[in-house]
Amino acid sequence: MQQLMQRRFILKFAAALFSATLFAGTAHADETIKVGVTGGPHAQIMEVVKQAAAKNGLKITVIEFSDYVQPNAALAAGDLDANSYQHAPYLDAQVKDRGYKLIKITDTVTFPMGIYSKKVKSLAELKPGARIAVPNDPTNGGRALLLLQKQGLIKLRPDAGLKATPLDIAENPKKLKIVELDAAQIPRSLSDVDAAAINTNFAMEAGLKPKTDAIAIEDPKGPYANIIAIRAADKDKPWVAKLVAAYHSPEVKQYIEGKYTGAVIAAW
């Protein structure tokens, strides 16, 4: 009787061990992570990434936010495993200002800022003293000035950085007049200036198509490429590589190219 009981115990233990091993293997194979995004293209693209990741045993729960502050706060607090909505300069500022231990793991897409005009068809046609509208906030204003510099219209002081202002303009051969306006208002003011640097989201809302309407546009692999961010402590976890691979998959790139026709560009 005692031997029978011992045998039953051994069989139950073996069955439990097998179940635990099987469960652990399944949990590893089908690991679930939470990724925060903002509405619009970031959310839409992540749904495609979700499908690609599932093929490699990674389940993604997409959580949408309506502002730019909460996704990093939630990630730092452990409520998210990753987020996908910001460019590197914004993350760097958040890390510096808030002490977050967050890092970039890869580039995702870029929303290239463009220069638009209703009066000229190329930057070469701009006359001396032409009025150029740029956003009046530090991040986007500096971004616009860097774009103007890239096009050879102005030259900034070497130490101007990403938050350059009109005061940082060291050379201005055409004596262009920089008009600072609220970024959202610039498309409506396009007729009042000779050219304007407009963020892609506001350009699209105004019916402008970056790929065909912009007379100059940012390099998609510049400093304003959007990124995926995670906690620094998680950088070596297996799901990180799976997430990057899923985002950089051919089907995601094909979706971006077909859906946004140049307004949103893959940055890898």
pLDDT at position 154: 98
pLDDT at position 4: 44
* φ and ψ at residue 62, rounded to 5 degrees: -90, 125
pLDDT at position 66: 85
pLDDT at position 40: 85
pLDDT at position 5: 45
* φ and ψ at residue 110, rounded to 5 degrees: -130, 145
Contact between 105 and 33 under an 8 Å Cβ cutoff? The reply is no
Return the residue matching tokens 């870029």.
Answer: 110
pLDDT at position 221: 72
Give the residue among 252, 230, 251, 250 at the shortest CA–CA distance from 241: 230
Torsion of CA 230, 232, 238, 240, to 10 degrees: 30
10-residue mean pLDDT series, the chain (268 residues):
47 44 45 94 96 97 92 98 93 93 96 96 97 91 96 97 94 98 93 96 87 90 89 98 98 96 88
How many other CB atoms sit within 10 Å of the CB of residue 99? 9
Q: Where in the chain is the domain with CATH 3.40.190.10?
A: 26-111+223-266, 114-217
CATH superfamily of 114-217: Periplasmic binding protein-like II (3.40.190.10)
* φ and ψ at residue 99, rounded to 5 degrees: 75, 20
pLDDT at position 256: 96
CATH superfamily of 26-111+223-266: Periplasmic binding protein-like II (3.40.190.10)
**pTM, to two decimals:** 0.72
